[in-house]
Amino acid sequence: MITTKIIFDRKKQAGRDGLGTIEIRLTHARKSIYISTGVRIREREWRAGQIVNRPDAPVLNDRLVAIWEVVNREATAAIRNGVALDAERIKSKICPIKDAANVEPLFMEWVKEQVEILNIAPGTRRQYKSLLIRLTEFDRLRRWDDLTAENIVTFDAWLHRRKKKDGEELLDSAVFKYHRNLKALLNRAVTFGRIEKNPYELLRGKFKRGDRENLDYLTEDEMKTIEEMELPDDEMMQKARDLFVFQMYTGLSYSDAEAFDISQYRKSGDTYVRVAERIKTGVPYVSQLLPPAIAILEKYDFEIPQIENHVYNRALKSIGMSAKIQIPLHSHLARHTFATWMLRNGAKIENVSRMLGHTNIRQTQRYAKVLAKSVHEDFEMVAKRMKKDKGR
């Protein structure tokens, strides 16, 4: 009779932090031989005959089962044919499995593959490519077994120390985006059986979203300045300004504005309305074209100017400087401006949330808080002036 069993750390080398070898013990006629699987793990990563407590546990357990099946099959065939058990022959049969494991795609290679095949908007794909660059620079999350909570916390600290091109450190909000996208990739890896558990589950609430309440927006005077300002005889500058005005009066993000199609709007009299889903999140939103937005569309035969995002934002910065607006213009500022403008003009916060396609009303409440802060600052300014006048 032949028995085969997967055993761990036969030579008692693991200890608390050391590594122990996993072997297949093959017993026949009271004699045992041991076949190494090539897998070495810590003592806390072995429980009830399986590898646990590490991201690549599913992959390693599958490898052990595959090796055990080969050993069992070869040993059974040898006994059936009256041939002595040959450990070296059996080892040669499991070598392809061990060799395949050694060349198994690294986590970084898997990320590269996923970034190319994910069904996401171009802007979001650029974010994932930026994450890939940061992971490559960090170089401590290369393999599947590198995906630990400890290494992710180290990655967070590294991101906060990293300088931008202008010498400034990354904001909490920028670092949070890297974590958000990495977490999404790891959830995908769990779904595909690449890892057993997402290490971010151990880090809930660990990373700051950044100052979400400090949202810039344009005042109505600044909005009017942008709309009415004289621009150089430059087609790109004209298109950038017009696209920005269109966003200011629709609340559409860059990707949703880029995909704008008037045929998808229902026309009733002079009103154009559409219920759709945001490209980036898939969340439903309600869009109605206001007169300034319709005026822009009429100028371009109801088609939106197409400008690459980085070119668009560069042009907006020049426009903002020419208009002497202190806040740097960028495409998302138009969306912030739309939200605060609607709230200032009496729109209900629940409706503004639907216009923007927010996943929950808490996102929209940021704008209300900004307005409340602005009102308070105006009260303070007036109070100070009154004190000065009284002291004269």
The total domain count for the chain is: 3
Secondary structure (3-state) at 111: helix
- The predicted model gives 90-108 an average pLDDT of 66
Domain boundary among 169, 203, 237: 203
Please tell me whether residues 113 and 192 are part of one structural domain.
Answer: yes
Please tell me whether residues 94 and 128 are part of one structural domain.
Answer: no
> In CATH, what number is assigned to the domain containing residue 255?
1.10.443.10
Which residues face 163 on adjacent strands?
169
pLDDT at 101: 52
pLDDT at 17: 58
Does residue 103 register a pLDDT over 50?
A: no
Domain boundary among 203, 236, 255: 203
pLDDT at 246: 97
> In CATH, what number is assigned to the domain containing residue 199?
1.10.150
pLDDT at 236: 92
Please tell me whether residues 88 and 134 are part of one structural domain.
Answer: no
pLDDT one-digit tens code per residue, 144-156:
888 999 999 999 9
Please tell me whether residues 305 and 362 are part of one structural domain.
Answer: yes
Domain membership of residue 330 as a residue range: 220-379
Please tell me whether residues 369 and 337 are part of one structural domain.
Answer: yes
Please tell me whether residues 91 and 112 are part of one structural domain.
Answer: no
Does residue 342 register a pLDDT over 60?
A: yes
Distance in angstroms (rounded) separating the CA atoms of residues 326 and 231: 18
Please tell me whether residues 90 and 119 are part of one structural domain.
Answer: no
pLDDT one-digit tens code per residue, 51-62:
888 777 887 888
**Hey, what are 262's tokens?**
């008037």
**Hey, what are 291's tokens?**
């007169």
Please tell me whether residues 322 and 197 are part of one structural domain.
Answer: no
Please tell me whether residues 93 and 118 are part of one structural domain.
Answer: no
Please tell me whether residues 95 and 160 are part of one structural domain.
Answer: no
Distance in angstroms (rounded) separating the CA atoms of residues 91 and 386: 91
